[in-house]
Amino acid sequence: MKKTKKPNKALWAACVLLCLVLLSTYLSSGIYAKFVSGASGADRARIVRFHPTSDLNAGTTDGAYEISLRNSSEVAVYYTVTVQPHNPGQISSCSLNGVAGTAKDDGSFVFVHVDALIPGGSDTASLLLAADPSFDDPDVSPDLSFSGSSSVYDLDCPFTVTVSYEQIK
């Protein structure tokens, strides 16, 4: 009689158990995938239009001017007006809507945050200048020309008006 080798039951049991573990790991991987979450989002910002404008309308011989202000922006704005004479010291006083401006060392006058302009609003400001022909100051040479009478002269007093705007927060 021939002797046959008996199968090792413990080895067979370990192989079957390993196959079952691998199979259960593969099948259970779908269970855990159900609990994975994801997130997504979006955001947007809208930039408002900022477009205020101004015009200086020619004045008369009495030093009165009009500043037309328009706010085509979608936000309210403050405006600041600066009057800068080309020859410092030639303008002695300056007022806007009856309020005197703050005189600076460089001879300019500043009106800070005069009024608020609402979106789509407009305003007209009255600018009044008083010129001072300072003959004693060698740096200031006003351009005086004879106007027909011995006591009346025309004074050339160039100046620049700057209107700056700031959005109201």
Q: Report pLDDT digits (tens) over 92-121.
A: 788 888 888 888 888 888 888 767 788 888
When divided into structural domains, the chain yields a total of: 1
| pTM, 2 dp | 0.59
Nearest one of 46, 35, 131 to 92, comparing CA atoms = 131
Q: How many CA atoms, within 13 angstroms, populate the side-chain half-sphere of residue 117?
A: 29
pLDDT digits (tens, 9 = 90+) for 24-80: 888 777 666 565 567 788 888 877 777 888 888 876 656 788 888 888 888 888 888
> Is residue 16 in some structural domain?
no
> Is residue 88 in some structural domain?
yes
Q: What is the CATH number of the domain that holds 76?
A: 2.60.40
pLDDT at 19: 93
Exposed / middle / buried, residue 71 (Cβ in 10 Å: 0-12, 13-18, 19+): buried
* pLDDT value at 146 more than 70: no
Nearest one of 55, 47, 46, 67 to 128, comparing CA atoms = 67
Instruction: Tell me the residue range of the domain where 111 lies.
Output: 52-167
Alpha-helical (H) ranges within the chain are: 9-33
> Is residue 18 in some structural domain?
no
Rg of the chain over CA atoms, in angstroms? 42
Q: Pull the structure tokens for residue 52.
A: 């205020």
> Is residue 84 in some structural domain?
yes
> Is residue 80 in some structural domain?
yes
> Is residue 29 in some structural domain?
no
- Most distant CA atoms of the chain, gap in Å: 158
In the chain, how many H helices and how many E strands? 1, 12
